[in-house]
């Protein structure tokens, strides 16, 4: 069984009350995990924040726009907003996972498309590529929860890149389901990575006001620049 990263576990457990962090797990911190935190504190770790987001562009109310917020007049996906806040605090690079296919902007059509992809165990083709992925030590990975799972594009992403020896810190936006079993899925897909079991889970209705909480979470992890 994969060892879980328990650095700052007390702080993270307290964070769960305010930010909806989910996950858990047990076990002592490994030497690799401790080195990753120390490297980040010393500014030595190469940090990447990646995310998949799909803002619903049709309609203007909170229901039809459930996966988006408006920031400075621009429509921004919930997961994109969280990713930007993480990168602002942790530093490093920011990368959006994009697909060659275009997803519907309507909420109902989007969830139907997501359900069909899950039924087919689809692997949507990616249109974006990370340059020199091997250079990164710590990767924050974000996605929305679609039907209790990651979007199928995330499976393509994990199939594409080798995370061996890297630390993965998941974060998710959702309509009430939190992470579901997605952290376990990531552990299965990337058995040679250290997957942080206590990631950041934020309900979609809370995203717009979560900037301060996100910043504190990253700082408590020890990855503030």
Q: Are 11 and 220 in contact (CB under 8 A)?
A: yes
Q: For strands 194-195 and 200-203, give the pairing.
A: unpaired
Mean pLDDT of 84-98: 96
pLDDT tens-digit profile of 185-209?
999 999 999 999 889 999 999 998 9
Mean pLDDT of 55-71: 46
Cα separation, 62 vs 205, in Å, equals 9
Banded model confidence at residue 69, pLDDT cuts 50, 70, 90: low
Spans of all domains in the chain: 9-221
What counts of helices (H) and strands (E) characterise the chain? 7, 8
Assess whether pLDDT exceeds 70 at residue 92. yes
Assess whether pLDDT exceeds 70 at residue 174. yes
End-to-end CA distance of the chain: 32
Cα separation, 221 vs 150, in Å, equals 23
Fold of the domain spanning 9-221: Rossmann fold (3.40.50)
> Which whole-number Å values give the CA distances from 65 to 34, 60, 61, 151, 202, in the listed order?
40, 6, 6, 18, 16
Banded model confidence at residue 36, pLDDT cuts 50, 70, 90: low
Average the pLDDT over each of 23-32, 158-167, 216-225 and give the range with the smallest value. Answer: 23-32
Q: In Å, how far from its chain's centre is CA 149?
A: 12
Mean pLDDT of 182-187: 98
Q: What is the pLDDT of residue 38?
A: 62
Alpha helices in 132-225 (DSSP H): 152-160, 182-189, 211-221
Assess whether pLDDT exceeds 60 at residue 160. yes
Cα separation, 198 vs 215, in Å, equals 16
3-class DSSP assignment, residue 178: coil
Q: What is the pLDDT of residue 17?
A: 31
Cα separation, 8 vs 38, in Å, equals 13
Q: ∠57-50-29 over CA atoms, to 5°?
A: 135
3-class DSSP assignment, residue 173: strand
């Amino acid at each position: 069984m994969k060892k879980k990263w328990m650095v700052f576990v007390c702080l993270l457990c307290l964070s769960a009350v305010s930010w909806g962090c989910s996950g858990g797990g047990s076990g002592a911190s490994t030497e690799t995990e401790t080195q990753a935190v120390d490297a980040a504190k010393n500014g030595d770790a190469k940090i990447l924040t990646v995310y998949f987001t799909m803002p619903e562009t049709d309609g203007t109310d909170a229901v039809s726009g459930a996966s988006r917020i408006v920031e400075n007049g621009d429509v921004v996906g919930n997961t994109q907003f969280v990713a930007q806040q993480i990168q602002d605090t942790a530093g490093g690079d920011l990368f959006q996972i994009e697909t060659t296919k275009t997803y519907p902007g309507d909420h109902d059509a989007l969830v139907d498309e997501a359900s069909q992809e899950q039924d087919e165990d689809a692997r949507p083709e990616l249109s974006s590529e990370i340059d020199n992925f091997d250079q990164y030590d710590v990767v924050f990975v974000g996605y929305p929860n679609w039907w209790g799972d990651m979007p199928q594009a995330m499976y393509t992403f994990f199939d594409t890149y080798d995370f061996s020896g890297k630390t993965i810190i998941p974060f998710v936006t959702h309509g009430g389901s939190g992470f579901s079993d997605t952290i376990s899925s990531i552990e299965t897909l990337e058995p040679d990575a250290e997957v942080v079991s206590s990631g950041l889970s934020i309900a979609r209705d809370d995203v717009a006001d979560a900037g301060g909480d996100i910043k504190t979470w990253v700082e408590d992890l020890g990855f503030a620049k």
